[in-house]
Amino acid sequence: MTLYRQLTIAVLAALLLLYLESLAVSFNNTKSLVAQQMEANTQDAATSLAFSMSQTVTGNDIGMLESMLNKVSDSGHYRRIYFVDIKDNTVLERDFPVQVQGVPQWFANIMHLPDYQAEAEVTSDWVILGKLVVVSHPGQAYQNSWQALVRQLMWFSLLGVIIGVVAFLAVRRVVTPLRGIETQANEICEQRFVQQEALPKTRELRAVVVALNRLSSKLKALFDSQADLIGDLRQRSHIDVVTGLSNRTDFDARLNTFVSDEAETHCGALMIIALNNLGSINELAGRLEGNEVLRLLGLSLQRGLEDHEEALVARRQGAEFGLFVPDITEQEADALAASLILEASRISWQHQEQLPLSITMGFTYSNKVTNGPELLSEADMALHSIDIDNDEGWSKFSAMEAAGVPLVSRSALDWKKFIEQTIVDRAIELYIQPTVAVSNKQPLAFEVYARFRTTDDHQLTAGTVIPMVRRFGCSVALDQLVLEKLAETVPEGSETLAVNICAESVRSTAFCEWLPTFLAANKELARRLVIEVSEQTLKTSKSDIRSFQNILARYDSGLAIDHFGLESSSFGYLASIPLRYLKVHRSFVRNIHLSRDNQFYVKALAQLARTREIQIVVEGVETEAEWSVLSALNIDSAQGFLLGHPQALQVDS
């Protein structure tokens, strides 16, 4: 029972008890007073009537006595009047039954006034004729008492309503701050550290709210300091302080995740851009101006890669920048290289006329990325083969075999036809890879992958096809197809089923209108489903993500962040968006047993996420050495070829 209801009942109960006590005292006093009045009135009536008879009656005139007796009895105040002679013989008698008008019988039974009897002698010429006996009639007393009780009840009811309204308003005024305290406490439990601006006027409640506000402020400061610590650590170990881009260590680690990705094969272009006259700039204008030019060049490269979500850009060393753009065609790579070098050539600085910037690029393209150092070497060779006076300012390392053009090198038109036909034919196969608990290696979840069948019965991984799917605007149709296929082949059990969807689907009105209908029709799947989106998607589409998460929450589905850690943005969204888990990018996991920085980062991230009741999952666990270190870092679960390979999802699985 709520405190509000308890207080209201207590006030009304106290009021009722007060009335009952008042009623009991009043009833007893009234009954005593009425009894005394009846006794006195009866005696007065007997004395008065006997005196009148004595004055009027001559001798033993019974007729005269009867006439006078009838006049008195008709008034209705007495139950019985009778006259007895000196020999105690009843000469005259009048009896009247007790009939109370307008008074409930139960009230008369409760009040139950006794019969009062009074006597007086009747004489004539100093001779005693007999005595007159009068017995009282309680009807009038009952009626008067009942009317008084009704009036009292009416006044009490009116007063009770007034007091009840006042008590209601007063209790509500007292209880309202308690609701605010409850809401704030629940918000703190959900790691949303809100403050109550309106303080209660009640001193005790005001003290509680002030204490809660201080607690919320302290916890928020603690959480923010932890987030800042993790961010600073990542900045120091993975970010170049001059440009704000990834450094060489981070670039090489993330490049290796594409090289060592056994689940998917990737094509891509690797580029090295050099600011050839950085030394001259430093000598002419100083190191600060040289750093500013490097920062402008980094911004130019970032803008040029905005359409490539998974592209890597870093300052590798000194005046050199490294770029890797996965899953693009060779024709797109050539066009991108020309565009990047053109934009870079437009950078201007304060001594541009005296010392123009000299920016060159060397790049290489591979249909199948299998060796990161080899790609870097090829791009470096292309860079150093450039004639500084070359108008184009870029060079491509071409060492590809001319024979055999795989599907990934086909024209854009072929890709579009292939993707559209795949969606029409529903020609995809689903694979699942387990995510296991750190404590016992038992599966907690399965990540769902899509593979694409070609006309020659080969399979293409999602990493190869998805970039083209997004390029031709087919993301929504493909994500719907994957979910529908999963609904047809839901594996038995209660493990979570994780599906990665494109950013375009999150932002699509059509997809967000289709999803509730799909989840409502597949309630068993909905309860197990977790949708994964990239950290980049969350960073660029926060409002869309919140709306999307609300849809999932209505059907007990969850939202998670994939490839976590690649963005250098704040972790503030962890407090505003309910998440099931964060999946740490494989670049932090690869050779983690050799990297103290990555170990500290993952452990600190796990501690931070635990305060938010968010689980930490790591991906890309390939070796026992990595697993032994990760299992001691307080993570919840892990995924990788060491723990389980992707398996085809069958209808009867």
Locate 385 and state its tokens.
């083969």
d(CA 367, CA 266): 7
d(CA 320, CA 273): 6
pLDDT beyond 80 at 317: yes
Percent of the chain residues topping a pLDDT of 90: 25
pLDDT (tens digit per residue) in 468-502: 888 888 999 999 999 999 999 888 888 999 999 99
pLDDT at 43: 81
pLDDT beyond 70 at 4: no
Note the Cα 471 to chain centre separation in Å. 35
Where residue 187 falls among pLDDT bands split at 50, 70, 90? confident
Q: How many CA atoms within 13 Å lie on the side-chain side of 83?
A: 27
Residue 560 contacts residue 579 (beta carbons within 8 Å): yes
Where residue 653 falls among pLDDT bands split at 50, 70, 90? very low
d(CA 573, CA 540): 12
Average pLDDT over residues 73-79: 62
- Nearest residue to 535 (alpha-carbon basis) of 490, 492, 583: 583
User: What residues have CB less than 8 Å from 482, skipping those under 6 apart?
Assistant: 428, 430, 448, 450, 499, 501
Label residue 546 exposed, middle or buried (CB < 10 Å: 0-12, 13-18, 19+): middle
DSSP state of 110: H
593 strand-pairing partners: none
pLDDT (tens digit per residue) in 565-598: 877 555 666 767 889 999 998 888 988 998 888 8
- Domains, the chain, with CATH or none: 3-161 (3.30.450), 190-238 (no CATH), 248-397 (3.30.70.270), 411-648 (3.20.20.450)
pLDDT beyond 90 at 563: no
Where residue 95 falls among pLDDT bands split at 50, 70, 90? confident
Q: Which residue has the higher pLDDT, 507 or 374?
A: 507
Residue 581 contacts residue 562 (beta carbons within 8 Å): no
User: What residues have CB less than 8 Å from 139, skipping those under 6 apart?
Assistant: 76, 98, 99, 100, 101
Q: Where are the alpha helices (H) located in 350-500, listed in sequence order? A: 372-384, 412-425, 462-471, 475-488
Where residue 526 falls among pLDDT bands split at 50, 70, 90? very high
Average pLDDT over residues 34-49: 79
pLDDT (tens digit per residue) in 130-156: 888 888 777 777 777 888 888 888 888
pLDDT at 407: 47
Average pLDDT over residues 445-457: 85
Average pLDDT over residues 329-355: 88
Q: Where are the alpha helices (H) located in 561-642, listed in sequence order? A: 573-576, 596-611, 624-630
d(CA 498, CA 580): 11
**Integer CA distances (angstroms), 333 to 251, 327, 460, in order:** 19, 10, 21
d(CA 381, CA 398): 11
pLDDT at 208: 87
* The residue type at 536: Q
* The residue type at 126: W
pLDDT at 406: 47
**Integer CA distances (angstroms), 473 to 8, 13, 347, 468, 505, in order:** 62, 70, 33, 9, 10
Q: Where are the alpha helices (H) located in 318-389, listed in sequence order? A: 330-345, 372-384
**Integer CA distances (angstroms), 145 to 53, 99, 140, 254, in order:** 33, 15, 8, 97
- Averaged pLDDT score across all residues of the chain: 83
Q: What is the pTM of this model?
A: 0.61
Average pLDDT over residues 399-422: 60
Average pLDDT over residues 59-75: 68
Average pLDDT over residues 437-444: 91
Strand 581-584 and strand 558-564: pairing?
A: parallel
Where residue 404 falls among pLDDT bands split at 50, 70, 90? very low
Q: Which residue has the higher pLDDT, 92 or 268?
A: 268
Q: Which residue has the higher pLDDT, 628 or 179?
A: 628
DSSP string, 5-67: HHHHHHHHHHHHHHHHHHHHHHHHHHHHHHHHHHHHHHHHHHHHHHHHHHHH--SS-HHHHHH
Q: Where are the alpha helices (H) located in 489-554, listed in sequence order? A: 503-507, 509-521, 523-528, 535-540, 542-554
pLDDT (tens digit per residue) in 220-279: 777 777 777 676 666 667 788 899 898 888 888 888 878 776 667 788 899 999 998 898
Q: How many CA atoms within 13 Å lie on the side-chain side of 504?
A: 16
Locate 366 and state its tokens.
């591979």
d(CA 264, CA 584): 18
145 strand-pairing partners: none
d(CA 203, CA 604): 41
pLDDT beyond 90 at 45: no
Note the Cα 375 to chain centre separation in Å. 47
pLDDT (tens digit per residue) in 290-315: 999 999 999 999 999 988 888 999 99
47-61, 375-389, 507-521: which has the highest mean pLDDT? Answer: 507-521
pLDDT beyond 60 at 401: no
Locate 58 and state its tokens.
């001559």
pLDDT at 570: 55
Where residue 652 falls among pLDDT bands split at 50, 70, 90? very low
- Nearest residue to 275 (alpha-carbon basis) of 254, 259, 291: 291
For the chain, give me the number of helices (H) and strands (E)?
21, 19
DSSP string, 163-227: HHHHHHHHHHHHHHHHHHHHHHHHHHHTT------SPPSSHHHHHHHHHHHHHHHHHHHHHHHHH
Instruction: Give CA angle at 307 (411, 325), nearest 5°.
Output: 65
Instruction: Give CA angle at 372 (367, 373), nearest 5°.
Output: 130
Q: Which residue has the higher pLDDT, 399 or 430?
A: 430
pLDDT beyond 90 at 191: no
